[in-house]
Amino acid sequence: MKKPILAASAIVVAIGVGAPKYIASQYEAKLDNILVQLNEQPGYTAKMEKLDQNWFSSDASISITLDISAFAPPEPDTELPTAISATLDVHTQYGLLLTESGLGLGLYQTHISLPATELRDILNWPEAKPFYQVDLSANLLAEIDYQDHITSFSFSAPENENTAQFSGFSGVGRWKQQHLVYQGKMDSVKFEGSETVTLENLSVNADFEVTDWQTMVEGGFYNSHMAIALESVASDMFAVKNLQFIVDSKVQPEQQTGAFYFKYAVDEITSEVFSASNLALAMQFNHLSETVMRKYQDAMKQMMKQQPTPEQMQLGIAQFVEENLPELLSKEPELNITELKGTIPQGSFDATLSTKLVDIDASAITLVELKQPEFWINHVLANASIKADQGIVELIAAQIIRKQLANNPNVAEMSAEQIEAMLAQQSPMIINGLVQQGFIQQEGNSYRCELKLQQGQASINGTPFPLLAAQ
């Protein structure tokens, strides 16, 4: 009876003793691969400065440098740094038995800290804390729990009486079955000087579905969602409530394309001279060639290694576009504005736009043809809808008249009250003229305009509209 128990105990001990060494080798191989991939990115240099290995744990020091001049040559006679460097301290305990954060089972636990001691010359934060830290733990199923934290800090410049207070930022996430979910938040940032600006309640929510990290590095498409929200921005001059930014990406594997969605939204903006509410702009890009996106990422890497001047960079991008535009257009990409709306004191407006390239034969496209307006007119399918309240239409009409009268010497001698009276008189005349010509349609206290472009033929509110460039 004792022999089986002893044998089983020996196996458990052997696994407990041998597992850390095997896990460490796998872990360090992945870490080396991360450094290799980071070094392949333009402007980045990553190096393992130190690695102390024990049987059950390891301690490493990794330096990372970002060469800013690789992206933009330094301006002459400036004192701005040309590179940013940081050193990460990485401590890892290897499983299966993990003890440093409570007793448990898992593959490893990693604590990464950025001391950033050089920043203490300008920022103040608790002595015992690093500026930034990350904690990772992988369970036996290789699912990774993630926590990160930027410490709270303050800044003070007595010479100009500028100060800043940052509450800190904390985030949690999990990597499970090729799925990464992350949530982060910040309570506040406050700047005080010639004026006071306060940002409150920032939140970050992200959801990434990545089957291969290499896909992200190489510019490939993957399904993702990220939302950044800021509850308020307030200053002595203005206030903003509920600012939101959303970006989604989606893989379209059947066509080897991807799609992106962006949305900017603000609930309310107020100042002494302006106010608006319910503002939103949402754009959608569909059927973007993944092949071209990967080529672009690679081309940028190669170009940045040469440290090009801004002029060389522009020429390189222009050359890439010329060489790859036919392939990009062959996927019949779309650009849609799914939401453009807002409310100002004069009223509300709402607009949408959908555009799509159709009937594209990549093998027959020439660069000369792409530079001709006729190509785009005949291959773009577009629909636009614009609706605005009467007050906004009158405001636009008044601005048009004001611009036309800007160089009129007779107007220069008129008082502000006389100009406003003239604008109020002439604006309805312009609007009525547009209605009579069919350019806009009145719907109660609002006006609407519908525009279409198909097979080279344009129409406004159903009435054909000649495009001279297509003749």
pLDDT of residue 471 exceeding 50: no
Confidence of residue 199 (pLDDT cuts 50, 70, 90): very high
Q: Are 146 and 134 in contact (CB under 8 A)?
A: yes
Half-sphere exposure of 285 (CA within 13 A, CB side): 14
Question: Residue 469's pLDDT is what?
Answer: 44
Task: Mean pLDDT check: name the lowest of 174-183, 274-283, 357-366.
Answer: 357-366
Question: Residue 108's pLDDT is what?
Answer: 93
Contacts for 145 with CB less than 8 Å, ≥ 6 apart: 136, 137, 138, 139, 172, 173, 174
Q: Report the chain's terminal Cα–Cα distance, integer Å.
A: 98
Question: Residue 408's pLDDT is what?
Answer: 77
- The alpha-carbon radius of gyration of the chain (Å, integer) is 30
The whole-angstrom separation of Cα 310 and Cα 294 is 22
pLDDT of residue 72 exceeding 70: no
The whole-angstrom separation of Cα 47 and Cα 50 is 9
Question: Residue 275's pLDDT is what?
Answer: 96
Maximum mean pLDDT: which of 72-81, 394-403, 439-448, 459-468: 439-448
Tens of pLDDT, residues 270-296: 998 999 999 999 999 999 999 998 898
The torsion angle over the Cα atoms of residues 418, 423, 424 and 427, rounded to 10 degrees, is 160
- Residues facing residue 135 across a β-bridge: 111, 147
Question: Residue 241's pLDDT is what?
Answer: 97
**SS3 category, 206:** strand
Task: Mean pLDDT check: name the lowest of 109-113, 210-214, 240-244, 350-354.
Answer: 210-214
Tens of pLDDT, residues 238-273: 999 999 999 999 998 888 899 999 999 999 999 989
Question: Residue 10's pLDDT is what?
Answer: 43
Percent of the chain with pLDDT over 90: 49
Q: Are 347 and 390 in contact (CB under 8 A)?
A: yes
Q: Are 461 and 436 in contact (CB under 8 A)?
A: no
Contacts for 322 with CB less than 8 Å, ≥ 6 apart: 367
Mean pLDDT of the region 349-353: 97
> Phi and psi for 212 in degrees, rounded to 5?
-155, 120
Helix, strand, coil percentages, rounded to 5, for the chain: 30, 45, 25
Question: Residue 78's pLDDT is what?
Answer: 61
Tens of pLDDT, residues 36-50: 888 888 788 999 999
pTM of the full predicted structure? 0.86
Helix runs in 84-243, H state only: 213-217
Question: Residue 5's pLDDT is what?
Answer: 47
Give the rounded distance of the alpha carbon of 72 from its chain centre. Answer: 20
Question: Residue 311's pLDDT is what?
Answer: 85
